[in-house]
Amino acid sequence: MNNQIPSFRNPDGFEIDFDMLQEFELGLDTYHPEQSKVPCKVLGYGEMSTVFEIHQETFEGLAFKRMSIFETDAELSDYATIYHEYNRLLEEEIGVHLPVHGYAAFQNQHKRPIFYIIQTKLPSPAIGNKAMHLLPENETLILFECVIRELSKIWMFNQSHTDKMIGLDGQVSNWVIQDFDPMQPVMEADACLAYLDTSSPLLRINGKEQMDPELYLRPAPSFLVWILRILYLKDVVNRYYDLRSVVIDLLANCCKEQKPELIPDLVVMANDYFAKEATDLEVETIGEKEVFSYYKEDAQIWSLYLGMRRIDRGIHRHILRRPYPYVLPGKVKR
C-alpha cells in the first residue's frame, strides 16, 4: 500500500504492527465490515468514525477508531496536531482521565488519508451506557453525578482561562468506570471515570476553532452539505461548548437507553449539584420537559440524517461506482 504521509504515534502510547493495520485497511469492506479480509468486529459508531476490534494476535486488547474524513495530507496532519493538544489539555491541565492511547496515519489504496486512534480496549460492561443497565437506580444516579463532576472540571478550566476553551460531548456512552466489576456492579460516589471520545478535538484558542468545522460535514451527503452548513453546523458545534446544553444531552441519553423514567430524578440531581457544588459555573436550572423535548427533536434529526447517508452510500455504490469511505450502522434503536 502506498504510504506517502508519515505515520503518527503518540510517544506515551504503544507500538503497533503498522503493516498489519495497513493490511486491515486494504481489506476493509465498508459496506459489510464483518466480511473484511482481516476479521474484525465493530465496537461502536460515531458521526465521523467507526471503532473496530481487529482479530489479530498482535492487536489483542486494543480498539481502533477509524477516521476517513480527510481529503488531503495537510488536513490530517493539522488534525493530528490538534488531537494531541486536546488530549494533553484534558489529561495534564484539567485532570480528566483518558485510556492509554496512540494513533497512526497513512494513505489507503484509494489515496485517501486515514487516521486511526488506538486505545486500550476497555470492558464493555464498564462503559457508562452499559453499566447503567447493571446498576440499581440509585447508583445510576451516582454515575451521572460523577459524569457531571467531570464536566464541571472542564468548565472550571474554561472559566479560568481567557485564551483557551474546551468543548466536549458528555454522553454517558463516552465514559468508562475504572475498576468496574460487572459481576458485582457497584457505583461509589468517589469512583474514577475515564473519557473515551477525544476524536472530535473541540478546542478554541483566542476564540478561534482549531479543528476545521468543515470536517464535521465530510460524512454528510453532498446534497445536504449546504443546508447543514447554513442551518445546523454552528449551532451543533457551539452546544458542545455550553455546559448546560452538554448536561441536557447527557440526561437525554436515558431515552436512547430506554430508561426515561430516570430523567425526573436526574434533573433534580443535576440542578441540586449546580446549586450547591458548582455555583460558580452559574448553570441555569434545567427543566424535565426540556430534556424530553430536546431528545425528541435530536432523535428525529439524527434518524433523518442517517437515512440520507444511506441514500448517499447507495448513490456511491450503484450510480457513481465509487468507493464509499465510511461505515454506517444498521438500525439504531432510539
Model pLDDT for residues 259-282, shown as the tens digit of each residue: 999 999 999 999 999 999 999 999
What per-residue confidence (pLDDT) applies to 9?
Answer: 55
- pLDDT, tens digit (0-9, with 9 covering 90-100), for 293-325: 999 988 777 787 888 888 888 888 888 888 888
Q: Over the chain, what is the mean pLDDT?
A: 91
DSSP SS3 for 60: coil
188 near 142, Cβ under 8 Å? yes
What per-residue confidence (pLDDT) applies to 11?
Answer: 45
C-beta neighbour count of 178 within 10 angstroms: 12
Residue 181's contacts (CB-CB under 8 Å, 6 or more residues apart) are: none
What per-residue confidence (pLDDT) applies to 2?
Answer: 45
Return the C-alpha torsion angle 100, 126, 25, 321, nearest 10.
-140
152 pLDDT more than 60:
yes
Burial 94-118, CB ≥16 within 10 A → b, else e: bebeebebbbbbbbbeeebbbbbbb
**Euclidean distance between CA atoms 306 and 193, whole angstroms:** 30
- pLDDT, tens digit (0-9, with 9 covering 90-100), for 1-55: 444 454 555 545 667 888 999 999 999 999 999 999 999 999 998 888 999 999 9
Which amino acid belongs to residue 73?
D
What per-residue confidence (pLDDT) applies to 43?
Answer: 93
Give the right CATH number for 18-120 from 3.30.200.20, 3.20.20.10, 3.40.50.150, 3.40.50.80: 3.30.200.20
- pLDDT, tens digit (0-9, with 9 covering 90-100), for 162-203: 999 999 999 999 999 999 999 999 999 999 999 999 999 999
The CATH 3.30.200.20 portion of the chain extends over 18-120
